[in-house]
Amino acid sequence: MALRVGVVGGGQLARMMIAPAVELGIDLRVLAEEEGMAASLAATAVGDYRDADTVLAFARDVDVVTFDHEHVPQDVLAALVDAGVAVRPGPEPLRFAQDKLLMRARLQELGMPQPDWAAITDASELQTFLDAHGGRAVVKTPRGGYDGKGVRVVDAATEADDWFAALAEDARGGALLVEELVDFSRELAQQIARRPSGEMRAYPVVETVQREGVCAEVLAPAPHSRGRLADVATRIGIGIAEGLDVTGMLAVELFETTDERLLVNELAMRPHNSGHWTQDGAVTSQFEQHLRAVLDLPLGDPEPNRPWSIMVNILGGPSEGTLDERFAAAMAAHPGAKVHTYGKAPRPGRKVGHVNVVGDDLDEAAYEARAAASFFAD
Ligand SMILES: Nc1ncnc2c1ncn2[C@@H]1O[C@H](COP(=O)(O)OP(=O)(O)OP(=O)(O)O)[C@@H](O)[C@H]1O
Ligand SMILES: [Mg+2]
């Protein structure tokens, strides 16, 4: 009988697991939040991932449960484990991807390099942090942020008043995370695959370019990273994967500081936007690797199959019509570009697809990927 993987969440990450699952003969099932989502091709159930009974019913006939996002509540995860379901990554490591304050505290215990940080509950504590850090800092909501939502650069203690007020309303209480504003020269991401048996594979460290808090492009490998930088990034990734007992794909977002240190920004325990290039640029894509890792199968080779890969996100999409209507023109102009779409309706700023181009010359590949992606926006 085919190995069965259940993915909670019907977004594009679940969608992009479908093709490798078909190739490997894996029976992939998806619990989608609603009809018509990106992964609806494989959606065998539609329901609320915050409801334990819904998730338990979905998990009943799969070999392992994994995720498209980090938002499944701990009580639901605990119910799965109590019912004997294999959950990968497990509830314990997932806590550190769900809550940035827990993550900071745990990374500190592991001795990982990271920005100065503090947990704060009111404006006076924020003021104290600002005073100690040159008057500017980054305030973050510990839970539920994505694509830069829940991240705010502040230079006055009153600028987070609305978030402190929301904390006071929240019965669970809690705190905000404040971090030093890192003076970085660029952002990097390190991906590690790890299976329950402990086997690990490291992808090359990549450069991620963000615009308005959203990933716009990824260059793989990160230019000028060979040698020390790549080694340090890999060591950090492996230390976190082992230290937190992550299974499946782990992405570690990093800052490279102007004085060439690496600091950990945040973690994702699932396939990640920084690894979409692997679909066309690596021997084993992150989506195939995630399936292999959560099933405890031998991992695939993460090496690039060409010197350079570039991924350009399609953000928003055309303001009129559908992505599909732009296909023919993009394909005709850029036969070397691989266009991946998510079946999502265009909306300003929304990730609706991406373009991968691989090649021997970074500038040429980047030119082609950007040009092809531009056909899908206006
Ligand atoms: N301490 C910091 N110093 C400087 N810039 C920061 C800092 N923290 C975050 N940023 C900037 O804000 C972006 C978003 O922050 P972060 O990754 O924490 O948020 P997110 O919304 O959870 O992320 P994602 O978009 O990956 O879901 C970062 O990629 C970086 O550009
Ligand atoms: Mg981030």
pLDDT at position 1: 78
pLDDT at position 342: 96
pLDDT at position 76: 98
Backbone angles phi, psi at 200, to 5 degrees: -135, 150
Report which protein residue has its CA nearest ligand 1's atom 12: 213
pLDDT at position 145: 72
Angle of helix 286-294 relative to helix 12-24, nearest 10 degrees, comes to 70
pLDDT at position 213: 86
pLDDT at position 247: 98
Closest CA to 264 of 100, 56, 19: 100
- The token duo for 114 is 């990271």
- The token duo for 40 is 């609806």
Query: 147 in ligand 1 pocket by Cβ < 6 Å?
Result: yes
pTM, two decimal places:
0.96
pLDDT at position 377: 85
Report which protein residue has its CA nearest ligand 1's atom 25: 147
CA–CA dist 360, 339 (Å, integer): 19
Report which protein residue has its CA nearest ligand 1's atom 27: 146
CA–CA dist 16, 37 (Å, integer): 12
- The token duo for 135 is 């008057």
Three-class DSSP category at 144: coil
Stretches where the chain sits below pLDDT 70 are none
CA–CA dist 7, 31 (Å, integer): 6
Query: 209 in ligand 1 pocket by Cβ < 6 Å?
Result: no
Closest ligand 1 atom to Cα of 268: 26
Ligand 1, from 151, 154, 255, 258: best to mutate by most atoms within 8 Å of Cβ? 151
CA–CA dist 7, 5 (Å, integer): 6
- The token duo for 318 is 């055309």
36's CB contacts (< 8 A; 6+ apart) are none
